[in-house]
Chain A
Amino acid sequence: MNWFYSRSSAFSDSVCRLLKQPVTSILHILGMGIALSIPMGCYMLLDGADQFSRKLNNTSQLNVFIAADSSDKTIKLAEKQLTELFDGEITFIDQDDGLKQLSKNSEFSELVKNLDTNPIPHLFVLTPLDSDAKKLTDVAQTIENWSFVEEVSFDAKWALKLESFVNLSKILVMMVVLLIGLGFVASIFTNIQLQITIRKDEIEIARIVGATGRFIRRPFLYYGFIQGLLGGLCAALIIFFSVKFGLNAIQPMLEPLGFYIRDPDLVTLSSPLLFSVALSLLGAWLSSNNHLKKIDY
């Protein structure tokens, strides 16, 4: 009970101090919320882009063209080597089937009739089980080096580029998060230093009448905690309403492309909250500790 009274007094004192300067407190909390919501929002957009690139990779195929004049033996050798190398579905379309499919197309039907020989190459269509674009690129490069292969077309090359772009952007977002984190700690540090300066006399008196470092530090930690909590809450609300009412408005335009932005779940919304609280506590602890080291021996 005594334990609770001592802490609740410090907590209510910290709340009162925030309420005494409502405009400053609101602006500071809003600043924290906006600063946090930017990288979180970017991360959600990237998550959507990531899902999009994965989908593209899932539908990607490798087309392996074998020269039209290749013998049956060569085609069998190609099939054997592809089966050994490739993990997925392999479909063979020989040049006659290829020509038939081409003649079905009204634009080419007349042209096909006038051909003396069949110039269409044999085709192996490789559909992967694993959608890893990097792995598919490696497979395509290996096949391209085989002597009997005329050409390899890989329709997911640009999806690979998109995936690389998404990965790079994720790293950039992480760097932004790191920088914002540092800025956060610095901002709370300065803010608590200001509070310490305002309460310098109180700290001195408390120290004289026997306050421990923990007792002196406590209201500043609570002050940082409350600010961090409210800042994180503000960020979570900005993300929630931006996605709910802002991005969802353009979702119909993105849907045909297979680009979806997921509604923020509890984990997504609680992460800025935890991030903000942890960094605010760190900033408050560093700041109050720094002061205590200066005044006590």
Chain B
Amino acid sequence: MIETKDLSKRYPGGHQALKNVSLSIQEGEMVFLTGHSGAGKSTLMKLIGGIERSTSGSVAINGTKLSSLNRSALPYLRRNFGFVFQDHKLLIDRSVFHNVALPLLISGLSKSEITTRVRAALDKVGLLEKGSFNPVTLSGGEQQRLCIARAVVNKPAILLADEPTGNLDPGYAADIVTMFRAFNRVGVTVVIATHDPAMIQGLGARIIELKQGELQA
């Protein structure tokens, strides 16, 4: 489903974030990307999600090379992904409901369909009662769950989570991991970038390790 070949990324200023990374992730698989800070995990996630462009090499999603897509086609590709960020990236001037509704509004769904699906997503993460709240009034764990609700509301085929438990206490972190596991069980391909060993233990998922931008055997 996801295939990278000799993928490299050099940022302006000369920092080499990724060096010749080649990997393959199957459909319905759950994978952990590990490595220390600065290992290139976030960069790899951005390149897979089509948020950034690689310097060399290629990323293919279901056989389609991202570099072969033109600018106007990329947004439609991104709709196949659900993104979860460590810093949540929530809109603080909108309610919880409207944060989750954003991907559906972008996809052009009707108001009634948006309402139904947003309520279902909020219910799944346990925030149904807080739809009218402002995100800043939520706890860290709730904000992360809100971010997950927004990521899954569009029923994506691939879930990309970048340090999703980074700022959470162990209890909340375990909840989040359970949630990802549940999504994976229903067929969603899940890629989680983390440097937290506790998160990986006991899940039996494949682990891909990055070190200074290079894939470790």
Whether B110 contacts A209 by the Cβ 8 Å rule is no
- Closest-CB distance, B105 to chain A (whole angstroms): 6
Contact partners of B53 in chain A: CB under 8 A:
297
* B113 nearest in chain A by CB position: A2
Measured CB to CB, the residues of B under 8 A from A are 49, 51-53, 71-72, 74-79, 83, 89, 91, 102-103, 105-111, 150, 154
- CB contacts (< 8 Å) of A207 on chain B: these are 51, 75, 78
**What are the residues of chain A within 8 A of B111 when measuring CB–CB?**
5
Which B residues are in CB contact (< 8 Å) with A215? 75, 106
Interface of A is mostly: helix
* Contact in complex: B75, A211 (CB < 8 Å): yes
- Is A98 in the interface zone, CB < 8 Å from B? no
Query: When the two chains form the complex, which single residue of B78, B91, B103 contacts A202, counting CB atoms closer than 8 Å?
Result: B91
In the complex, the answer to whether A209 meets B71 with C-beta atoms within 8 Å is no
A296 touches B (CB below 8 Å): yes
Nearest neighbor of B107 in chain A, beta-carbon distance: A210
Is B103 a contact of A2 with CB atoms below 8 Å?
no
Q: Quick check: B108 and A209 within 8 Å, CB to CB?
A: no
Q: How many residues on A have C-beta within 8 angstroms of the other chain's C-beta atoms? A: 21
Tell me, in angstroms, the Cα distance from A210 to B82 when the chains sit together. 10
Residues of B within 8 A of A253 (CB): none
Q: Let me know if B83 and A208 touch, CB within 8 A.
A: yes
The reply to whether A212 and B72 contact each other, CB–CB distance below 8 Å, is: yes
Chain A residues contacting B154 (CB-CB under 8 Å) are 209-210
Q: Given the complex, which residues of B lie within 8 Å of A213, measured CB to CB?
A: 71-72, 75
Which chain B positions have C-beta within 8 A of A206? 102, 106
15 pairs across A/B with beta carbons < 8 Å? A2-B110, A5-B105, A6-B108, A201-B91, A204-B89, A205-B91, A208-B49, A209-B154, A210-B107, A212-B75, A213-B71, A213-B72, A215-B75, A296-B74, A297-B52
Task: Tell me the residues in window 185-232 of chain A with beta carbons closer than 8 Å to chain B beta carbons.
Answer: 201-202, 204-213, 215
Q: Could you tell me which residues of chain A, from 1 to 30, have a CB within 8 Å of some CB in chain B?
A: 1-3, 5-6, 9
State how many angstroms separate the Cβ of A112 from the closest Cβ of chain B.
93
CB neighbours of A202 from chain B (8 A):
91
Identify which of B74, B106, B107 gathers the most chain A CB atoms within 10 Å of its CB. Answer: B106
Residues of A within 8 A of B76 (CB): 210, 212
> Which B residues are CB-close (under 8 A) to A296?
71, 74
Q: Which residues of B contact A9 (CB under 8 A)?
A: 105
Choose among B72, B102, B110 the residue that contacts A1 (Cβ–Cβ < 8 A).
B110
> In the assembly, what is the distance between CA of A1 and CA of B102, in Å?
17
Known contacts A204-B89, A205-B91: A210-B103 contact under CB 8 Å: yes
Partner of B150, one of A3, A201, A204, A209: A209
Q: In the bound complex, do residue B106 and residue A209 qualify as a contact, i.e. CB atoms below 8 Å apart?
A: yes
Q: Please name all residues of chain B whose beta carbon is closer than 8 Å to the beta carbon of A210 when the two chains form the complex.
A: 75-79, 103, 106-107, 154
Give the CA-CA distance A179 to B74 in the complex, in Å.
Answer: 40
List residues of chain B with CB within 8 A of the CB of A201: 89, 91
**Known interface pairs A209-B83, A215-B75; 19 further A-B residue pairs with C-beta atoms within 8 A, sorted by A's residue number:** A2-B108, A2-B110, A5-B110, A6-B105, A9-B105, A205-B91, A205-B102, A207-B75, A209-B78, A209-B79, A209-B150, A209-B154, A210-B78, A210-B106, A212-B75, A213-B72, A213-B75, A215-B106, A297-B52
